[in-house]
Amino acid sequence: MSELQERRVVACPYHIAREHLAVDLGNRAGSKTPNVLTLHAPLAGAAVTKNVLVTIATADDPMHFDQPWKVHWTPEGGGPYPDFDGTLTVRADEDYHSSVLELRGDYRPPGGIVGAAFDLAVGSKIASATARTLLDEIASVMESSYAAAERAKHSGPSGGGS
């Protein structure tokens, strides 16, 4: 079993990021079909592209501080790629204006000893790239939504002439 932990700082305050994540992942969790995420991982001068099917469900935080989400992905069509099981949470950052998305979990490299050797050399990079792609996708939507809301607050009423 290999561990995976990736973090992404998001330009969005914690309380807003937490609400956004609840809405975004709540909608994804309610979906009857998995979300398709396309991985683009540069490896040794070549690009690996693979779709993974992502399913999301609510999870429990025993401390009742954060709302974690269960995340599972599996390679579309199978192949020599691992499945992943973990949790996604948003945490407060040191700065009020930002928060941190964190994905933690485990995957088992396929192929026994050969697969474990591949994981050490390349597979762990693919798993990390997949995690970063997922975090970047979520963070991008979150940051865009927050920036638009902030612009709307500061632009004042429009369309009215005095």
Note every long-range contact of 55-60, with CB atoms under 8 Å and residues 24 or more positions apart, other chains counting. Answer: 56/25, 56/28, 56/29, 56/88, 57/29, 58/26, 58/29, 59/87
Q: How many CA atoms lie within 13 A of 77 on its CB side?
A: 4
Model pTM score: 0.79
**Angle, vertex CA 68, rays to CA 67 and CA 72, nearest 5:** 150
So where are the chain's domains?
A: 2-147
Could you report the per-residue pLDDT of 57-109, keeping only the tens digit for each?
888 878 777 778 999 888 888 776 778 899 999 999 998 899 999 999 998 77
90 membership: H or E segment, kind and range:
strand 84-92
Name the CATH superfamily for 2-147: START domain (3.30.530.20)
Question: For 111-152, what is each residue's pLDDT tens digit?
Answer: 778 777 777 777 787 778 878 888 998 899 999 999 998 889
Bridge partners of residue 6, in order along the sequence: 103
